[in-house]
């Protein structure tokens, strides 16, 4: 009978323990958790604070007692593993309630310590009104503070997943909320042309954005906190630090296990560390980026659970391998949904990939069925093969399911031609007969075959205005009245055939419309009439969103 110790009782640790028991009824399994809770839904914590998840107990997926009863796992909460002796194959454990320590031996050891919120070395950061959010205790402190002191305003430092989710939920709790973000955007995996709609929506919902701004100092003034920023200052009644996490790898490092320069525990595809009897999973481990084919730190719940299952399989001598992370994620921003998977354009450039891109704006379901709203989609693909490399979607209707389909496409190595052939579910309340995923395939296929040549939103302002090219807006006049790009003449699409003689065939034509659909039709007309024509991918809507404050 083998003895397995597990350090950490949330996503990775609890998943591994349950899988181990299902595979081996006779193994001795001990799970150590230094906190008071195991297997809680940490991704739901912001929504409990905001009141969407009203019952705190809903977040407690398993208690130590229920886990013991169902899986026969020795769960030891309030027990922290202090050190590992790899030679003796023992761990030193401290009971946090009594202060006493003891040794526990093992045959196999699995580390699932997660990550710790980053606290920058800023004066005033340890104020009782400054909070981080990692576990149930943190959520309790924030919720208790709001109920007890009734703060009117909050500053969220950091615009990542937790930062944006906390901003929404604090706003739902009737606080005035600001986000302070060091970079020029929130949600770093999005490219700027996709995150611009998110910025607009946050502002529409009353969130103040302080972008390209860092926290320098926090000073208590009466009941308020004064935040000194790198550009200006801000007053708030409470502060949430959501800058990111560092891997909790000190235990592994002190034991002599290999870690990378960021502290991530180095593991192979079987989740082995540099010690053959020690495994590691979750936010603390280094992973292989599926597209970039380079090591990375990608702290997501889905990969953590998969890694835990794989580690448990290998402990039980079932060959199983983790093949990489592609960074699939989705986030709710009030009534908007943001999702992405694969490589973004920033990283595609950094990696030197031979890529191209298309932008689409499409209804989430049949436009004639009530409630249809649009989604914006960006898809990156290999220039030669059309292989899908990454996608980003922002919108209101069906964003998550389209991103899931494209995540599968990326994992399977599919091309744009494959997307156009996919047979996806259709009924008016759910989709269109040509799903946005199919449309993406058609659009990329047109680019690959040379039927369409694109230009992009960031090219518009650099096109010559000296008469050497024709800048053509094929929208209707009433649309143009609401906003237009400088230098573009207006010939509505439905008039183009009759007015084509007004255009000089010797000059390239750059056409735009609202979303890119009508300009695509216009360029097909023009190309077949002897013009060298280009269409604005994503249309004027994307151009104005990305460039107009």
Phi, psi of 131 (to 5 degrees): -130, 155
Cα–Cα separations (whole angstroms), residue 455 to 151, 429, 436: 49, 33, 21
The β-bridge partners of 489 are 472
The string of DSSP codes covering 202-253 is: HHHTT-EEE-S--EEEEEEETTEEEEEESSSEEEESEEEE-S-EEE--HHHH
Cβ atoms of 375 and 191 within 8 Å: the answer is no
Helix axes 436-448, 399-411, angle to 10 degrees: 50
Active-site annotation holder among 43, 86, 92, 316? 43
- C-alpha span between 203 and 159 (Å, rounded): 13
For residue 264, what is the DSSP state? P
- C-alpha span between 16 and 311 (Å, rounded): 7
Phi, psi of 251 (to 5 degrees): -60, -45
Active site includes 43?
yes
Cα–Cα separations (whole angstroms), residue 219 to 118, 125, 159, 441: 19, 9, 22, 54
**Order of strands across the sheet that contains 90-95:** 79-85, 90-95, 101-105
- C-alpha span between 472 and 534 (Å, rounded): 10
What stretches of 352-465 show up as alpha helix (H) in DSSP? 399-411, 416-421, 436-448
User: 307: part of which helix (H) or strand (E)?
Assistant: helix 301-315
For residue 531, how many C-alpha atoms fall within 13 Å in the half-sphere facing its CB?
29
19-23 LR contacts (CB < 8 Å, sep 24+) = 19/308, 19/309, 19/312, 19/313, 20/312, 20/315, 20/316, 21/71, 21/72, 21/73, 23/312, 23/313, 23/316, 23/318
Residues acting as catalytic residues: 43
């Amino acid at each position: 009978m083998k003895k397995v110790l597990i350090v950490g009782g949330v996503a990775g640790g609890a998943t591994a323990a349950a899988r181990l028991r299902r595979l081996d009824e006779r193994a001795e399994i001990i799970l150590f958790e230094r906190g008071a809770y195991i297997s809680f839904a940490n991704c739901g914590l912001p929504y409990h604070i905001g009141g969407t998840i009203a019952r705190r107990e809903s977040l407690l997926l398993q208690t130590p007692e229920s886990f013991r009863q169902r899986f026969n796992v020795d769960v030891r909460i309030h027990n922290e593993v202090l050190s590992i002796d790899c030679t003796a194959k023992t761990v030193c454990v401290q009971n946090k309630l009594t202060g006493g320590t003891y040794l526990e031996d093992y045959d196999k050891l699995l580390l699932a310590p997660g990550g710790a919120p980053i606290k920058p070395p800023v004066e005033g950061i340890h104020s009782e009104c400054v909070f981080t959010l990692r576990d149930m205790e943190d959520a309790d402190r924030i919720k208790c503070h709001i109920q007890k002191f009734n703060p009117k305003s909050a500053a969220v430092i950091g615009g990542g997943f937790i930062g944006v989710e906390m901003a929404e939920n604090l706003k739902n709790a009737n606080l005035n909320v600001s986000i302070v973000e060091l970079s020029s955007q929130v949600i770093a995996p999005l490219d700027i042309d996709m995150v611009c709609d998110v910025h607009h929506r946050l502002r529409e919902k009353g969130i103040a954005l302080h972008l390209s701004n860092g926290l320098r100092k926090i000073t208590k003034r009466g009941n308020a906190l004064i935040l000194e920023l790198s550009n200006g200052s801000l007053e708030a009644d409470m502060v949430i630090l959501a800058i990111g996490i560092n891997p909790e790898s000190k235990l592994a490092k002190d034991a002599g296990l290999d870690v990378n320069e960021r502290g991530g525990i180095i593991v192979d595809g079987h989740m082995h560390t540099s010690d053959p009897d020690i495994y590691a999973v979750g936010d603390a481990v280094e992973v292989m980026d599926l597209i970039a084919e380079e090591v990375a730190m990608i702290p997501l719940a889905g990969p953590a659970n998969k890694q835990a299952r794989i580690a448990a399989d290998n402990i039980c001598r079932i060959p199983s391998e983790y093949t990489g992370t592609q960074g699939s994620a989705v986030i709710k921003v009030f009534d908007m949904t943001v999702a992405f998977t694969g490589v973004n354009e920033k990283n595609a450039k950094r990696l030197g990939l031979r890529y191209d891109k298309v932008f689409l704006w499409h209804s989430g379901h049949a436009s004639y069925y009530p409630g249809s709203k649009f989604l914006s989609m960006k898809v990156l693909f290999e220039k030669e093969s059309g292989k899908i490399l990454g996608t980003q979607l922002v919108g209101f209707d069906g964003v998550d399911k389209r991103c899931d389909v494209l995540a599968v496409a990326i994992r399977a190595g599919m091309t744009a031609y494959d997307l156009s052939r996919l047979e996806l579910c259709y009924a008016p309340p759910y989709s269109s007969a040509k799903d946005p995923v199919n449309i993406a395939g058609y659009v990329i296929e047109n680019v690959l075959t040379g039927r369409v040549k694109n230009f992009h939103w960031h090219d518009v302002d650099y096109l010559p205005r000296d008469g050497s090219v024709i800048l053509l807006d094929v929208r209707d006049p009433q649309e143009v009245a609401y906003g237009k790009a400088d230098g573009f003449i207006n010939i509505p699409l439905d008039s183009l055939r009759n007015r084509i003689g007004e255009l000089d065939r010797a000059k390239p034509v750059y056409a735009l419309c609202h979303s890119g659909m009508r300009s695509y039709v216009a360029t097909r007309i023009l190309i077949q009439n002897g013009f060298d024509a280009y269409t604005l991918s994503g249309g004027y809507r994307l151009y104005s969103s990305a460039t107009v404050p």
